[in-house]
């Protein structure tokens, strides 16, 4: 059973960079895409971006200028950096495994999720 565990600081100052890591256990990070999704308190879900184990990425245009997702296959981890944060970036950040449709390898859904990490942006 694949498990994802997110980790990182729960408090980040405005204008600084939010950095989170997701550790994958129970399976290899290879041959899959991996994603970050966030949820502001009391609100809905927003896709941030995904990365293939080889390193290719796709980001939400609304965040693209501030987002970097990277992967470390040797540690079975992938990471999120979000720069120049403001209070609007306060959210629970989820990491998730991306699964391709069996009949269309270019389209995806999220089949395993981490528990979520609450990140508050405040001075």
Partner 1 sequence: DIQMTQSPSSLSASVGDRVTITCRASQSIRSYLNWYQQIPGKAPKLLIYAASSLQSGVPSRFSGSGSGTDFTLIISSLQPEDFATYYCQQSYSTPLTFGGGTKVEIK
Q: Footprint of partner 1 on this chain (CB under 8 A)?
A: 44-47, 58, 60-62, 94, 99, 101, 103-104, 107-111, 113-116
CA distances from 114 to 49, 120, 123 (A): 15, 18, 27
Name 100's Cβ contacts closer than 8 Å, sequence gap at least 6: 33, 106, 107, 108
Q: How far is the CB of 13 from partner 1 (least distance, A)?
A: 26
Is the Cβ of residue 72 or residue 111 nearer to partner 1 in the bound state?
A: 111
Q: How far is the CB of 104 from partner 1 (least distance, A)?
A: 8
Is the Cβ of residue 13 or residue 101 nearer to partner 1 in the bound state?
A: 101
Is the Cβ of residue 53 or residue 113 nearer to partner 1 in the bound state?
A: 113
The closest of 91, 111, 113, 92 to 100, measured between CA atoms, is 111
Q: How far apart are CA 11 and CA 88, in angstroms?
A: 13
Q: How far is the CB of 105 from partner 1 (least distance, A)?
A: 12
Q: How far is the CB of 86 from partner 1 (least distance, A)?
A: 20
Is the Cβ of residue 16 or residue 99 nearer to partner 1 in the bound state?
A: 99
């Amino acid at each position: 059973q694949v498990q994802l565990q997110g980790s990182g600081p729960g408090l980040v100052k405005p204008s600084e960079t939010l950095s989170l890591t997701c550790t994958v256990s129970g399976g290899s990070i290879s041959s899959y895409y991996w994603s970050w999704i966030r949820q502001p308190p009391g609100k809905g879900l927003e896709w941030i971006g995904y990365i293939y184990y080889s390193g290719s990425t796709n980001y939400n245009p609304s965040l693209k200028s501030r987002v970097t997702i990277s992967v470390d296959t040797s540690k079975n981890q992938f990471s999120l950096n979000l720069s120049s944060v403001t209070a609007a970036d306060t959210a629970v950040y989820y990491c998730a495994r991306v699964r391709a449709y069996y009949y269309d390898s270019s389209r995806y859904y999220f089949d395993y999720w981490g528990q979520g990490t609450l990140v508050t942006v405040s001075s």
